[in-house]
Structure 1
Amino acid sequence: MQWRNNKTRFGALAKLFHWTSAAAFIGAYIVVYYVIWFMDYDTQPESLLVLNIHWILGLLVGFLVLPRLLWRLLDVQPEEPPGSKLEHWLAHVAHVGLYGLLILMPLTGYLGTHASTDFGLFSVTGFNETALFSWISRTFDVTWKAFEMPIDVVHHFLGKWVAWGVVALHVAAALFHHRVRRDDVLTRMLPCSKAG
């Protein structure tokens, strides 16, 4: 097993970051839509237990993004496949959008959460109980409700209207490369592929 990337394949660590982030991101969506569609958020305390899973997965995405970006900067990146400058520019913009989501979704999710996230062995305090929010509240004379509302609007807007499109384009581009271009863009990131 090769941990580092080379010019033709991603290494095991890059794949681990990619697929763990993807699974946590998609899992967070599945959980929150389960709560929205099948549970009564306002009256069922059980919904908070299920939402805790959403918060755990969201924080996992957030915790992974910094080491993932650092590894991307430190390790060699596989060569770009043949294509036009426009295609390469669009791929770059799409990756920036994906990383933006991996940062903004967990950040706005945490900043708008007023309950602790229970990981079992430890918990992460809700942002409303942190010293940073206490300072923000005193300095700008803002209540939790006034602070939380616009943060939630951004989080829900990104989740409902932006993330689906960005992720769908990412998947469609990978499938386009695999089925139409018949290059190795998809296979070099698959967990079972070996670094060549």
Structure 2
Amino acid sequence: MSSHSEAEVARYSRTARILHWIVAMLVFVTWPMGLMIGFAKDAVKLDFYLVHESLGFLLLWFMLLRTGAKFYQPSPPISGSVLERIAAHTVHGLLYAFLIIMPVSGFLATNAHGFPLRWFGIIPIWSPLDKSPEIAPVLSTIHEWSAWIVLALLALHILAVIFHHLIRRDSTLYRIL
């Protein structure tokens, strides 16, 4: 495997790289925690919800920061065929969209079910929704479907990185490190 110096690689900005890895870490903690809530014993279920919702709310803010930063510091150009570039832009765009839709729908669903968020059990977070049993299931469904879509997109993203790193042996991975 060839080594890639920083001068050779068109890297994402430092801000983009830091936000990328913070979001990745939050997804890798929050997503499985949300899945485990269904299996948690009643004694700890509310604790799982609190941490899951609080981390999800934090994820939302980091995604909003990432989106804003993207306007000020555009991504370096993507190499590859036209089809590969379209696929990469599509997956990235959908990841951004669903990493915002997922926490927003979860936050709103929680409120619509009658459980306003107290961020990490400390700070009450205002919501545009009060208890709304008629829309709570719709929001919960959007949240759940969004989570599965994020998982599928994340799998595509990781497979593409592995393909570029191990098969193509190009500098794609080094752009975000």
Q: Normalised by the shorter chain, which TM-score bucket?
A: 0.7 to 0.9
Specify the alignment match of 2:51 in structure 1. Answer: 53
1:79 deviation in Å?
2.5
1:12 deviation in Å?
2.1
How many equivalent residue pairs? Answer: 166
Runs of 4 or more off by more than 4 Å in structure 1? none
Write out aligned runs for 1:167-178 (5 A). 167-178=154-165
Q: 1:121 to 1:12 in 2, by over 3 A?
A: farther
10-19 or 100-109, larger mean C-alpha shift: 10-19
1:121 deviation in Å?
4.8
Alignment partner of 2:67 out of 66, 69, 77: 69
Specify the alignment match of 1:124 in structure 2. Answer: 125
User: Hey, what's the Cα distance between the residues in 2 that align with 1:64 and 1:49?
Assistant: 23
Q: Are the equivalent residues in 1 in contact too, given 2:106–2:143 (CA < 8 A)?
A: yes
TM-score norm. by structure 2 comes to 0.85
Structure 2 residue matching 1:144: 3-state secondary structure: coil
TM-score norm. by structure 1 comes to 0.77
1:122 deviation in Å?
2.1
User: Hey, what's the Cα distance between the residues in 1 that align with 2:119 and 2:163?
Assistant: 40
Q: Is residue 107 from structure 1 mapped to residue 104 from structure 2 by the alignment?
A: yes
Question: Aligned letter for 2:176?
Answer: M
Q: Is residue 36 from structure 1 mapped to residue 23 from structure 2 by the alignment?
A: no
Structure 1 residue matching 2:135: 3-state secondary structure: helix
Q: Percent identity?
A: 27
User: Hey, what's the Cα distance between the residues in 2 that align with 1:121 and 1:150?
Assistant: 28
Q: Are the equivalent residues in 2 in contact too, given 1:7–1:79 (CA < 8 A)?
A: no
Q: Are the equivalent residues in 2 in contact too, given 1:7–1:76 (CA < 8 A)?
A: no
Specify the alignment match of 1:23 in structure 2. Answer: 25
Specify the alignment match of 2:139 in structure 1. Answer: 151
Structure 1 residue matching 2:171: 3-state secondary structure: coil
9-18 or 170-179, larger mean C-alpha shift: 9-18
Specify the alignment match of 1:94 in structure 2. Answer: 91
Q: Are the equivalent residues in 2 in contact too, given 1:9–1:189 (CA < 8 A)?
A: yes
Question: Aligned letter for 1:119?
Answer: F
Question: Aligned letter for 2:129?
Answer: F
